[in-house]
Structure 1
Amino acid sequence: MSSLGVSVCVFWFIAVSTPALAQTNRLFQWSFANDALSTSLPTCFPLQIIVTSFNTTTNDTIGTPPYYMTAFVVGGTPVTTFIGTDQNNLTWTVTEPVGSQLVLSVVDANGSAGGIPPNIYKVIEGTTTQCVTTPINTPPFTVTANVTSELQTCQPWGFKVKGGVPPYVITFAQPGSPVVTNVSMLFGDDAFTFINRAGPNGQLIGAISDLTGRWATGTPIVNTKGMRVATIYVLQSLKGFSTSSRIH
């Protein structure tokens, strides 16, 4: 690996590609209306959310309503919830169990993401927990990863999927990033290897959904280490067969 501040990963590139799903980022951004809100979120309390244009100078794009909140539960099952149609009057309520750690992403009707806050939120007990639900994992649909702690630049991060309805989509989300990356797996594939190109000294989550939109349980997260990369590829493999595609 180069000792320069920017490193380059090089490996075999096979012509057959695994496409990234068509998705537009940087159309809008979102925030909690309460600026004083901490990284601890109470259960069953409506939280106001505001959507604004990503470009605050032109203020010309706000995404396409309705909007949804996807809460990526670390080690658990992501939950996608309708939060409203009015960009100035959106509401989300935490229904995840107390102690859950959440990476949050607001998306619009077209699946365009409004960015990931830099914080990982922790669910605390609110005035009530009556709204708290536990996702049903029947029939089983799970994802496991070969790395669950630190992931170095250019290090392979392998995923194994069991259950659900293929083909699958893997969603990569990094706290503090303005984008979310969705990559489609080929039909019949139940394994995926990501060569890490995420920014170092952060965290990266990988979530799996199936053809029906159902999320797999067991969502892994890693701490990213190493250097920034200039060029890197994603490798997808199954039973000795691999394909490659670049993620931008």
Structure 2
Amino acid sequence: MDTLGRILAGTALCLLFLVLQCQAQSVHGFNWGFTLTSSNIEECANQTIQIKPVNSSTSYLGQPPYYMLALEVEGVTTYTPIGDDPGHLTWQNTHRGGAELLLTVVDSIGQTGGFPTSFFNSVAAPAGSDTSCLIPEPTASTPRITSSITGNLETCEPWKLSITGGTKPYNVTLAQLGAGNITVAPMGPYDDVFVYIDRAGPGFPLIAGVTDSTGQWGVSTIAINTTGSSDTDCVGLVSVSETEAQFQAKEAVDASAARASSAKAHARSVALGIVFGLVLPLLVGGLVGLWWWRRRRSSQGRWLSQVPKQPQAHDEEQPQERLVRPNLNLDMSQVTSVVRVDSQQYRTASWAVDSELSIRQTDSPSSMDMSTTELHQTIPTPYMTSATLPRPLTTAKSPLSPPDPLAMTPNSTSPAATLTPEARYRKALEAHAEAQANRARLQAQMATNPRQSPIAGPSSRRPHVQRSQSAGVVRTFPAQPLPRRMGASLRLPPVAAISEEGPDIIIQHRDGGIVEELPPPYFDTGRYAEGRDDVPETEAAPGTVGRP
């Protein structure tokens, strides 16, 4: 009979697991309970079990026979028959003292009566009691399931369960305190790792047990606390069984992806830190600086627009500027020749003037050019011009002198350069008045004796006009410029003498400066006797010079 009972129990157990393999999650078909009120159960003690309907609306009590499933935390799980009569079921505790047990009743078709909300504790039997019912200690061949997590398990978090010992394939049983059913997951024929996606409700411990292909129960895991969300759908996540090698390869790929993601996140964090910590402040500072610079520039522009514009000394567009800084150059647009008096040609001293340009302007801004004024014409009134007008390049050359490169250099050492514009202008007017008086006297003398050409000089002596040393034929102005003797002066004979009460002041035709003294023109006394008035002359074509 005992042998027959064991055969029937093994057959029922195989049928149960066949049903569980086809149905991953059991059905809560009824309720059960002990008649005792304590959670402590002695070793080898028998406990009476009652089966009750799930609710008062039904009388369903499941399908006999019934079995007690006792999952021991980190111990061997037991699965024992408890009877066929729902009103008279008995279970004997075969677990050693100190074991924590998760208990539930299972009928013949795999329906469960649910789990209580707390563990039952196995306590040692009194001394001298029979303990022969206790299950043996696990061996090396006993299947063992190990958890990769020792702390809390989040909802939808993968839970790796590694299985060793026993005979493949394995079946994994998952149970939780307070749950109404159990979960049975069959594994592949070569798999030894099961990755479970936590779909258990949070707040109650979860435990996993294992059986091998022979029906041998193994050592269960520790109780894992579940936390997290109550949404246990975990869309897209699937629990899988695989070998340890496959799991390690997948872990390596996942770790590499995680490192890459972490590096990318770190790089992103560094980039954001650089942007917001360095670039953005620099950009903001640059924009603020640009705004400040534009504002300052705008304010300076408004300030400068309120300052009255200073008159430009060299602006030819402003007519009043000619009155501010006077330039006492005379308008010599009427100038033709010095030696032509009433269309008569006379021999001059050893100097010649090139008057190819109709307008003569001296290098000094404070002198009047009287050198090329025709004596029978009226001398124009001086006027003021801008000091920045371009000066025409005129030359005064002597027929006996080679070209002088310094001829155009203004007399910067002239005393006139130290005078103010008003003083220069006053002296120029005085000299001009004297020149007009001398011109009138000269015209009167010419009317009396047209063959003579009296010229006033700084001395009271009246030098005789003689032929130039190099002049065989009198040169008629205007003429081509002739070579000038090296070092020869470009000064012309003075037009009028200044009053003898002060130093002699001469108006020059080139540098325009007012000097204290000017030497008289040189005369060739060896060719003609002094005092000879009737100097023979030879008519020559204008612009030519010949020798006698």
Alpha-carbon separation, structure 1, partners of 2:101 and 2:155 = 24
Alpha-carbon separation, structure 1, partners of 2:152 and 2:26 = 29
- How do 1:185-204 residues align onto structure 2 when only pairs under 5 Å count? 185-204=187-206
- How do 1:67-86 residues align onto structure 2 when only pairs under 5 Å count? 67-86=66-85
**TM-superposed deviation, 1:148:** 2.5
Alpha-carbon separation, structure 2, partners of 1:188 and 1:31 = 39
**TM-superposed deviation, 1:126:** 3.0
Query: Structure 2: 5+ residue runs without aligned partners?
Result: 1-19, 251-548
Amino acid at match of 1:43: E
Identity %: 33
Alpha-carbon separation, structure 1, partners of 2:213 and 2:112 = 19
Preserved CA contact (<8 Å) 2:26 2:183: no
Show CA shifts across 1:36-91 (max 9, x none).
2x2211122210001122233121x2221111111101001101111111111100
Amino acid at match of 1:55: N
**TM-superposed deviation, 1:20:** 6.2
**TM-superposed deviation, 1:140:** 3.5
Q: Which of the residues 227, 234, 239 maps onto 1:235? A: 239
Alpha-carbon separation, structure 1, partners of 2:130 and 2:40 = 15
Shift in alpha-carbon separation, 1:135–1:109, aligned structure 2, 3 A: farther
- How do 1:1-248 residues align onto structure 2 when only pairs under 5 Å count? 21-22=22-23, 24-34=26-36, 36=37, 38-59=38-59, 61-127=60-126, 128=129, 130=131, 131-137=133-139, 139-232=141-234, 233-236=237-240, 237-238=242-243, 239-240=245-246
Aligned length: 221
Alpha-carbon separation, structure 1, partners of 2:114 and 2:227 = 21
Amino acid at match of 1:83: I
**TM-superposed deviation, 1:116:** 0.8
1:15 corresponding residue in structure 2: none
Preserved CA contact (<8 Å) 1:43 1:98: yes
SS in 1 for 2:239: strand
**TM-superposed deviation, 1:138:** 5.0
**TM-superposed deviation, 1:218:** 4.0
- In our comparison, the structure showing a higher alpha carbon Rg is 2
Farther off after superposition, 200-209 or 136-145: 136-145
Shift in alpha-carbon separation, 1:214–1:192, aligned structure 2, 3 A: same
TM-score (norm 1): 0.82
Shift in alpha-carbon separation, 1:138–1:150, aligned structure 2, 3 A: same
SS in 2 for 1:240: helix
Query: Structure 1: 5+ residue runs without aligned partners?
Result: 1-18, 243-248
Farther off after superposition, 23-32 or 221-230: 23-32
Amino acid at match of 1:91: T
Preserved CA contact (<8 Å) 1:168 1:211: yes
Shift in alpha-carbon separation, 1:187–1:152, aligned structure 2, 3 A: same
Preserved CA contact (<8 Å) 2:71 2:220: no
Preserved CA contact (<8 Å) 1:21 1:182: no
TM-score (norm 2): 0.38
More strand by share: 1
Farther off after superposition, 23-32 or 184-193: 23-32
Amino acid at match of 1:100: A
Alpha-carbon separation, structure 2, partners of 1:21 and 1:55 = 27
**TM-superposed deviation, 1:132:** 2.4
| Poorly superposed stretches of 4+, deviation over 3 Å | none
**TM-superposed deviation, 1:137:** 2.7
Preserved CA contact (<8 Å) 1:69 1:82: yes
SS in 1 for 2:117: coil
Alpha-carbon separation, structure 2, partners of 1:26 and 1:141 = 28
Amino acid at match of 2:194: F
